């Protein structure tokens, strides 16, 4: 997630801003930039790569500025290049803006601004906003009003800072969906995307809420709603330390990222899911849509957790879009001389976009003539650059080694692709609307599951000394079982296996006794009764059952020792909601066993070697 810092006061702003940006590095970023308002005008430095490269670029410059803004960018629209880095400026280079979030209607705004004579130099959504503010300034002649009026035309999420040489004594800030916090100082004020960038200067803070716009000067600050109503904000005192702030108050990045999922899943769907039309709009796939629709089959390759998402994708794509789908481990695909036909389409799924085996599978598929498409989190990563087209999952940076929010966002994007293809291949608008509204309800359902964390923690405490676990599910929840088992083994070091529930009797049933806990994913779907039969088989052998079941399931208590209740979700989207308690179970098991959740042994976040 991008980092934002602004300073106005009597001191030299540049060192303060650079230090603030260094504090924000933990959020993940791929380029950085600053804008300083000096008596000579606006000075902007921006650079792809690490902050140290920006510092080298700035060098020893010899000027002083009491007003500046700085940004660490996590790319969403446009690759992480020098040019796409923030700040972005208007035509006259008088206004500079930094932005965290996504402007959904930026293309519509961009066309209108270009028609009105604006020269837009980058492909970013943020630059459009700079020109929109410039346009509004022509009418109001007042920066605060110009920003407010511009934002009334914007759809999407933002936390922004805006400065202008025309009004060199203020920073305008606004929030909708992306956090901003004002640091209240003596003869100086700061503002940042989180308090970690402020606490060296002040512990007195004001949190902006969605729909609020602030004006900061060196001596004071004022706030209004975007609709121009005055609001008085309370100054609060920060009591927590830097590490707590970075982890959003959570003990580990993994837990923070688990809790971010209502938002990250929504970000994957935002601006793409068209509930009223019962379909999805995926700009990244438009150039290849005809090929995708004509493809005799889709091949999906990935590794680890991303492979589990791929498998969940197979279930929904085959059932709803009626396209044959093959799912392959990237590491196997690359060496088995796969048979590829020229009209085959391949999807490669990767959070990092840098996994060596997945990149090799991409190159193998391309060499054999397939159209290669990416489902990627990191914008501008190698996979994103080398694929013909694709979809970003927009989950935000994933720092925890165990993948959580990327998994659910990958499935959310696969659901959008399924909906899009299914509608083209005969799914009715009415069915499409039902699916789309179910998808839209998922972030709220995930929030509900997160509320029962204490119950899951208690279960983890109960089982923390166990040495083996079995995870069983059927249909689209077979991938959920695989993912639950992977999460448990990688962070708690407990041996765990995921199986299709019915396969149990072909071997793993031999393992079941009173020491073997079995997690069943058993939603009330068409194969519910079949899974219940598998549960009976486990009970008959004294296995201990933990069931992930629906809230309205009355029968399950008679079968399971522990029940974790989740809201009902449409079958194929179930893995998104049902994997949340499994992530929490793995997390709390690891915690109970004293394992270092953010640094699991032998694992790296990105596997860039074979
Ligand atoms: C598990 C995990 C790994 C990754 C795998 C692929 O929690 O994180 O299994 O899913 O290494 O990584 P990406 O998706 O970056 O290609």
404 lines ligand 1 (CB under 6 A): no
Q: Is the CB of 355 under 6 A from ligand 1?
A: yes
- Mean pLDDT, the chain, whole residue set: 94
Q: Is 170 a catalytic residue?
A: no
Please give the share of the chain, as a percent, with pLDDT higher than 90.
Answer: 84
Question: Residues 31-40: what's their mean pLDDT?
Answer: 93
**Which ligand 1 atom is at minimum distance from the Cα of 303?**
6
Q: Which two tokens stand for residue 371?
A: 């159209």
**Does residue 303's CB lie within 6 angstroms of at least one atom of ligand 1?**
yes
Beta bridge partners of 95: 164
Q: Are 285 and 416 in contact (CB under 8 A)?
A: no
Question: Regarding predicted confidence, which is higher, 280 or 607?
Answer: 280
Of the candidates 140, 134, 183, 132, the one whose C-alpha atom is nearest the C-alpha of residue 158 is 132
Tokens describing residue 262: 């209502």
What is the rounded CA–CA span in Å between residue 569 and residue 575? 9
Ligand 1: which of 355, 407, 482, 490 to mutate, judged by most atoms within 8 Å of the beta carbon? 355
Tokens of 360: 């090799």
Nearest CA to ligand 1 atom 8: 403
- Please say whether the beta carbons of 38 and 92 come within 8 A: no
Region 514-522: mean pLDDT is 96
578 exposure class (CB count in 10 Å sphere: 0-12, 13-18, 19+): buried
> Can you tell me which atom of ligand 1 is nearest the CA of 352?
15
Residues 62, 43: Cα–Cα separation, whole Å: 12
For the residues 57-74, what does the mean pLDDT come to? 88
Q: Which of 2, 110, 224, 405 is labelled catalytic?
A: 2
Is it the case that residue 162 has pLDDT exceeding 90? yes
Q: Tell me how many degrees the CA angle 52-57-59 measures, rounded to the nearest 5.
A: 95
Spacing, Cα 303 to ligand 1 middle (Å): 6
Q: Tell how far the Cα of 282 is from the centroid of ligand 1, in angstroms.
A: 24
605 has catalytic annotation: yes
pLDDT at 242: 75
Q: From ligand 1's centre to the CA of 449, what distance in Å?
A: 24
* Residue 460, both tokens: 């983890």
- Probe residue for ligand 1, chosen from 258, 302, 305, 587 as the CB with the greatest number of ligand atoms within 8 Å: 305
Q: How far is the CA of 604 from the centre of ligand 1 (A)?
A: 9
φ, ψ of residue 417 to 5 degrees: the values are: -65, -40
> How many angstroms separate the CA atoms of 26 and 16, rounded?
17
Residue-level pLDDT at 258: 98
* Closest residue CA from atom 16 of ligand 1: 350
351 lines ligand 1 (CB under 6 A): yes
pLDDT for res 610? 65
Per mean pLDDT, which range of 206-210, 457-461, 586-590 is the poorest?
206-210
Q: 76-80, 277-281, 528-532 — which is least confidently predicted?
A: 76-80
């Amino acid at each position: 997630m991008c980092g934002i810092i602004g300073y106005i006061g009597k001191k030299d702003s540049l060192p303060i801003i650079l230090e603030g940006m260094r504090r924000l590095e933990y959020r993940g970023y791929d380029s950085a930039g600053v804008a300083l308002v000096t008596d000579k005008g606006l000075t902007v430095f921006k650079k792809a790569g690490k902050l140290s490269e920006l510092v080298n670029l700035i060098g020893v410059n010899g000027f002083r500025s009491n007003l500046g803004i700085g940004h660490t960018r996590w790319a969403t629209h446009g690759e992480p290049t020098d040019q796409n880095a923030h700040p972005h400026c208007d035509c006259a280079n008088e206004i500079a803006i930094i932005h965290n979030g996504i402007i959904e209607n930026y293309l519509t705004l961009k066309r209108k601004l270009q028609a009105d004579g604006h020269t837009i130099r980058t492909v970013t959504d943020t630059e459009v906003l700079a020109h929109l503010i410039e346009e509004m300034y022509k009418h109001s002649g007042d920066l605060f009003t110009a920003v407010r009026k511009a934002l009334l035309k914007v759809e999407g999420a933002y936390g922004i800072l805006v400065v202008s040489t025309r009004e060199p004594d203020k920073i305008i800030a606004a929030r909708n969906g992306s956090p901003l916090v004002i640091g209240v100082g003596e003869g100086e004020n700061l503002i940042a995307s989180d308090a970690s960038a402020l606490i060296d200067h002040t512990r007195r803070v004001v949190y902006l809420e969605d729909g609020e716009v602030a004006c900061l000067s060196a001596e004071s600050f004022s706030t209004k709603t975007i609709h121009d109503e005055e609001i008085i904000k309370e100054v609060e005192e920060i009591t927590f330390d830097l590490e707590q702030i970075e982890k959003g108050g959570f003990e580990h990045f993994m837990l923070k990222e688990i809790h971010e999922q209502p938002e990250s899943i929504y970000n994957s769907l935002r601006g793409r899911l068209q509930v009223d039309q019962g379909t999805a709009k995926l700009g990244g796939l438009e150039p290849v849509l005809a090929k995708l629709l004509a493809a005799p089959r889709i091949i999906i390759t990935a590794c680890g957790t991303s492979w589990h998402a791929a498998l969940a994708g197979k279930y929904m794509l085959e059932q709803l879009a009626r396209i044959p789908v093959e799912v392959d481990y990237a590491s196997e695909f690359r060496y088995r001389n796969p048979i590829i036909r020229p009209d085959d389409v391949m999807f490669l799924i990767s959070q990092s976009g840098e996994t060596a085996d997945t990149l090799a599978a991409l190159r193998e598929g391309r060499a054999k003539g397939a159209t290669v498409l990416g489902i990627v989190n990191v914008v501008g990563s190698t996979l994103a650059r080398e694929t013909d087209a694709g979809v970003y999952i927009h989950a935000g940076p994933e720092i925890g080694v165990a993948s959580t929010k990327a998994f659910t966002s990958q499935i959310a994007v696969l659901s959008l692709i399924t909906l899009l293809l299914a509608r083209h291949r005969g799914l009715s608008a009415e069915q499409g609307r039902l699916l789309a509204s179910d998808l839209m309800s998922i972030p709220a359902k995930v929030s509900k599951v997160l509320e029962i964390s204490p119950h899951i923690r208690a279960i983890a405490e109960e089982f923390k000394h166990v040495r083996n676990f079995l995870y069983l599910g059927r249909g689209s929840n077979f991938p959920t079982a695989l993912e639950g088992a992977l999460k448990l083994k990688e962070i708690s070091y407990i041996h765990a296996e995921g199986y299709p529930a019915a396969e149990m009797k072909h071997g793993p049933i031999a393992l079941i006794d009173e020491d073997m806990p079995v997690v069943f994913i058993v939603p009330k779907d068409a194969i519910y009764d079949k899974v219940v039969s598998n549960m009976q088989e486990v009970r008959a052998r004294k296995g201990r059952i933990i069931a992930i079941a629906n809230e309205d399931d009355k029968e399950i208590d008679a079968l399971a020792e522990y029940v974790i209740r989740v809201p009902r979700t449409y079958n194929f989207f179930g893995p998104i909601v049902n994997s949340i308690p499994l992530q929490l179970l793995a997390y709390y098991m690891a915690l109970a066993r004293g394992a270092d959740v953010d640094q699991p042994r032998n694992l790296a976040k990105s596997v860039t070697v074979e």
